Amino acid sequence: MRTTTFTRLFTLTAGLATVASLALGTSTAAQAGTLAAAGGASSAVKSTDVGSGAPTLTAEAKAAGKKAHGAKATTTEILEAYWTKDRMAAAISADQDPALASSATAYVEKTTRDLKAGKKPATNDGPVRSVAGTASQVFAPAGTGAGSGGLVQAAYNPNLPYYVPTAYTAGKVFFTKGGLNYVCSGTIVNSEGKDTVWTAGHCVHGGQGGTWHSNWTFVPAYDDDLANPRPYGTWSAGQLWSKSAWTGSSDFSQDMGVAIMNTNWGYHIVDYFGGQGLTTNRGKSGVWENAFGYPAEAPFDGGNLMRCWGSTSPEWDAWLVWSQTVKIPCDMTRGSSGGGWLYGYNGDWGQLNGVNSRIDKIVGPTIMLSPYFDDDAWGLYNSTRYL
C-alpha cells in the first residue's frame, strides 16, 4: 500500500511519540529443562482477558495439499505444500494490511485524547517473574555467540548459521488473511507444554472486527540464502491465542500473540529446538534488549534474521505518567513484526521481554516499539504454558 496511508500517524500532540504499525539474568543452556520462575512458576496470574481460536485452512491450501499428498494429507503436509518457496518469498509484511494501519492510527489518536484528558493508562505491574529457556534435545549444545556491543540504531545481519540456537529458535511466520498471504516473525519459548511460539497479536488475529488468521505456519531458521530456505521444515499451529484487548479493541499495548504448535516428526517444537525463556516486570527504562526479526522492506529483503539492540525507554511520558509501550533504537522495517526482544541475551539464549509491534515511520524507521511485558504478558504465558 502507498506510504501516504500512514501520514496521519506522524503528527501527534502533547509530546506523545508518533508511531506507525510495523507490522533472572542470562538464560543459558545450563538452565536447560528448568522452568524456575521468580515469584513462583505456578503463580496464579492467569488471564481471564485472553482468547483463542483454531487457524483454518483455505480451500487453496487444501487443494495444494491434496495434489501433493492425496486426500488424507495432514495439516502440516497441506501447509508445506501451500507455502512453496515462491509463495513464501512473495508474502507481504503483515503491517501492509490497510486495516492494521487504520487500527494503529486509531490507537495513537485515542492515546492522545486520553493523555489530554488526564486519563492514565491501565497498568498491571507485579514482581519480576521469569522462566528459564531450555536447550534442544536434538542438537548438540552450541557455544556462546557474540555478545552485545555498544548502543546502535542500525540493524545488522549477524550471519548466524541456521544450526545455532538464536537462529533455530527464531523464524518466519506465514499466514493468510482476506485472500492475501502475509509474513511476520516469531520466537520459540519454553513452557511445560513445549509447544509455544510467541509473536505479535496482529500476527495471529486481525484485531477489532477481525478474525483468527488462516494457513498459520512457522518456519524456524528461515534463510533465503540456503537452497532450501526452510532447513527445519514447516510447523503448523493448532491454536492461536492473544489478549482480548487486542482481538476486541486493537490495543497495541496488548499486541501479543501465542501459537500452540502441532508436533512434527513426533517432536514438540521446544523439545526439538529448545526454547528461549520469558521474563516480565523488568521496568520500562534502561533495560538492555536484543531485538530479532525478518524486516522485509528496503534496505532489507526479508530473507535473513536481523538484530538490533539498545536500552529501553517508555514510548512517551507526561506528568509522571508513562506509556504501556516501550521502545529501543532500531531501523528494522516492516516484516519484523512479532520478532522477539531477548533480555539477558548471551549470544545463544535469553528471555523474551517484548515483541516487535510498531515502528516510528515506514521509510527510514529509527524506533522499534513493543508492548511492555508486565503481568498482562505473564497472564498470557500462564494461560498457554501447559497447552
> What are the pLDDT tens digits along the chain (387 aa)?
222 222 222 223 233 333 344 533 333 333 344 465 544 444 555 567 899 999 999 999 999 999 999 999 999 999 999 999 999 999 998 888 878 777 777 776 776 676 666 677 777 788 999 899 999 999 866 544 444 443 434 665 777 888 899 999 999 999 999 999 999 999 999 999 999 999 999 999 999 999 999 999 999 999 999 999 999 999 999 999 999 999 999 999 999 999 999 999 999 999 999 999 999 999 999 999 999 999 988 888 899 999 999 999 998 676 677 788 999 999 999 889 999 999 999 999 999 999 999 888 888 888 899 999 999 999 999 999 999
Q: Is residue 2 part of a domain?
A: no
Radius of gyration of the chain (CA): 19
Residue 171 lies in a domain: yes
Show the domain range for 188: 15-384
Count structural domains, the chain: 1
Residue 264 lies in a domain: yes
Write down the H helix ranges in the chain.
59-69, 75-82, 85-90, 98-116, 165-168, 244-249, 269-273, 375-384
| pLDDT at residue number 365 | 86
CA dist 161 → 15, 138, 158, 222 (Å): 42, 16, 9, 11
Q: Is residue 8 part of a domain?
A: no
261 lies in a domain? yes
The pTM score is 0.85
Give the Cβ contact number of residue 295 at 10 Å: 31
The predicted structure's pLDDT at residue 115:
65
Asked whether residue 9 is domain-assigned, the answer is no
**7 within a domain of the structure (yes/no):** no
In 3D space, the residue among 323, 327, 322 whose CA is nearest the CA of residue 311 turns out to be: 327
Angle, vertex CA 8, rays to CA 6 and CA 10, nearest 5:
85
Q: Please give the pLDDT value at position 362.
A: 81
Say which amino acid occupies 81: A
Around Cβ 68, how many Cβ atoms within 10 Å?
14
Q: How far apart, in Å, are the Cα atoms of 363 and each of 15, 201, 333? A: 21, 23, 8
Q: How many residues does the chain have?
A: 387
How far apart CA 200 and CA 255 sit, in angstroms, is 5
